[in-house]
Amino acid sequence: MTRDDDFEEINEAKANLDHIYDQPDPRAYFRELKKLRYAIPGAAKPIFQKLISSLQQRRDDTVCVLDLGCSYGVNAALLKHDLSMSELYHHWGQEGLADASPEKIVDCDRRFFDNLDEPEDIEVIGLDQAENAVEYAKEVGLLDEGFVVNLEKEPLSEPAKEGLAPVDLVVSTGCVGYVTEDTFDQLLPAITPDRLPWLANFVLRIFPFDAIEETLNERGYVTEKLEDRTFVQRRFASANEQEQVLEQLHEQGVEPTDKEAAGHLHAEFYLSRPKQDVTDVPIEQLLAG
Ligand SMILES: C[S@@+](CC[C@H](N)C(=O)[O-])C[C@H]1O[C@@H](n2cnc3c(N)ncnc32)[C@H](O)[C@@H]1O
C-alpha cells in the first residue's frame, strides 16, 4: 500500500467538507466551520509569528510566506492583520451580508482589509487546488500571489516555479493529509533554488508525517516535532466521525485519552529547517517565550 492509499483511507474517517472549499467567497466556509469550532489557524498564528520574526531578524527584509492549502487566505488574514479567528467568524457571519452577492462581498472585503493596518512586513503567496477561493483571496488583497494547482496530480507550471523562488517560510494548517509527500516533492525544487526556506506544518495526529519528513530529509532538511503539545483543530462533526478517527488512531498506536477521545481533532506541529539552523537554535528555544 502506498502512502497516498493510506491517506485516502484516513481521509475516509473524516467528515467531507469539500463543498465549502471552493465557493466564490468565504461565507459558507466560515458558517460551517464555526459549527465545528475550527480553530487551528488561530492556534498556529503565534507560532507562525515567532518564525516570521526570527526570519525577519536574520534577513532584515520582507519575509515571503507560502501558505500551502491557503483556501480563502485565512492564514494571510491572521498574519497580515491584527485579527483573531473569532473576529473572522464574526466578519463573515454578519447577518446583513447573508444575502449579498459574492461580488458585493469581494468589494466589501477589499475595503475591509485595505483599511486595516499591516503590522507585519510580509508577503503571502497562496497555493490551493480551489480556484475560486484563491481568486477571492487575491482579489481582496490577502494574497500577493496565488497558484491554483493540485500537486498530487498535476505538475507545477513554469510561472509557478518562478513565483515560488523567493519563499522564506512555508506554512500550512489543515492541509497535510489532503496533500502528501508528492506535493512536497514537487514544491521543494521550486522553493529551494538558492537556499532552504523553513517549513512549518500543523498536522492532524491521524496523519503520519514520516513520508513527508523523509522527502524533506533528502533535500537537506531536519524536522523537529514540538513535543508535549497538541493543538485543537476542531470538534468532531458527528459521533460516527469520532468513532472512525479513534479507530484509525488505535491502529496507529496513538493514545487518544484527553484529546480525540474527549471530542476534538488534535494537530501536532512540525518544523523543518536546514541542519545548521536546528543545531544553532532548537525548536523549543526558538518558540520559547
Ligand atoms: C481544511 S481546509 C484548510 C484551509 C486553511 N489552510 C485553513 O486552515 O483555514 C483544506 C484546504 O486544502 C485544500 N486542498 C485539498 N486538497 C488539495 C491539494 N491536493 N492541493 C492543494 N490544496 C488542496 C482545499 O481546497 C482546502 O482549501
- 41 close to ligand 1 (CB < 6 Angstrom): yes
193-229 pLDDT, tens digit per residue, is 999 999 999 999 999 999 999 999 999 999 999 999 9
Q: Which atom of ligand 1 is nearest to the CA of 150?
A: 20
Query: 109 pLDDT exceeds 50?
Result: yes
**Residues 134, 148: contact at Cβ < 8 Å?**
yes
Ligand 1 centroid from CA 289, angstroms: 30
Distance between CA atoms of 268 and 201, rounded to whole angstroms? 8
**Per the structure block, which three cell numbers stand in for 75?**
492564514
- How far apart are the CA of 69 and the centre of ligand 1, in A? 4
Query: Mean per-residue pLDDT for 62-88?
Result: 98
From residue 192, give the alpha-carbon distance in Å to each of 124, 187, 274.
Answer: 17, 9, 11
Whether the Cβ atoms of residue 164 and residue 125 lie closer than 8 Å to each other: yes
Do 68 and 187 touch, CB atoms closer than 8 A? yes
Q: How confident is the model at residue 120 (pLDDT cuts 50, 70, 90)?
A: confident
The span from the first CA to the last CA of the chain, in angstroms, equals 43
Q: Give the domain extent around 263.
A: 3-286
- Inform me whether the pLDDT recorded for 141 exceeds 50: yes
pLDDT over threshold 60, residue 108:
yes
Q: Which letter, b or e, does each residue of 17-43 get, where b requires 16 or more Cβ atoms within 10 Å of its Cβ?
A: eeebbbbbbbbebbeebbebebbbbbb
- How high is the pLDDT of residue 3? 65
pLDDT band at 9 (very low <50, low <70, confident <90, very high): confident
CATH of the domain at 54: 3.40.50.150
Centroid of ligand 1 to alpha carbon of 85 (angstroms): 17
The number of the ligand 1 atom at minimal distance from the alpha carbon of 29 is 9
**What is the value of pTM for the model shown?**
0.97
Lowest mean pLDDT among 58-62, 83-87, 162-166: 58-62
pLDDT tens for each residue of 256-286: 999 999 999 999 999 999 999 999 999 999 9
Whether the CB of 175 sits within 6 Å of ligand 1:
yes
What is the average per-residue pLDDT within 7-23? 93
Which of 105-114's residues contact partners 24+ apart within 8 Å by CB, and which partners? 105/24, 105/25, 105/27, 106/24, 106/25, 106/136, 106/139, 106/140, 109/25, 109/136, 109/140, 110/139, 110/140, 110/141, 112/140, 113/77, 113/80, 113/81, 113/140, 113/141, 113/142, 114/141
Residues 252, 203: contact at Cβ < 8 Å?
no
* Distance (Å, whole) CA 17 – CA 91: 21
- pLDDT at position 5 is 72
Q: Quote the pLDDT of residue 289.
A: 72
Which of 7, 21, 65, 66 has the most ligand 1 atoms within 8 A of CB, as the residue to mutate? Answer: 21
Segment holding 136, helix H or strand E? helix 131-139
The residue contributing the CA closest to ligand 1 atom 22 is: 128
272 lines ligand 1 (CB under 6 A): no
Q: How many domains is the chain partitioned into structurally?
A: 1
Strand, coil or helix: 174? coil
Extended strands (E) in 103-144: 122-128
77 CA to middle of ligand 1, Å? 16
> For position 1, what pLDDT does the model report?
43
Cα separations (Å) of 88 from 9, 78, 141? 32, 9, 15
Grid cell, residue 25, equals: 467567497
DSSP 83: -
CA 198 to mean position of chain CA atoms: 14
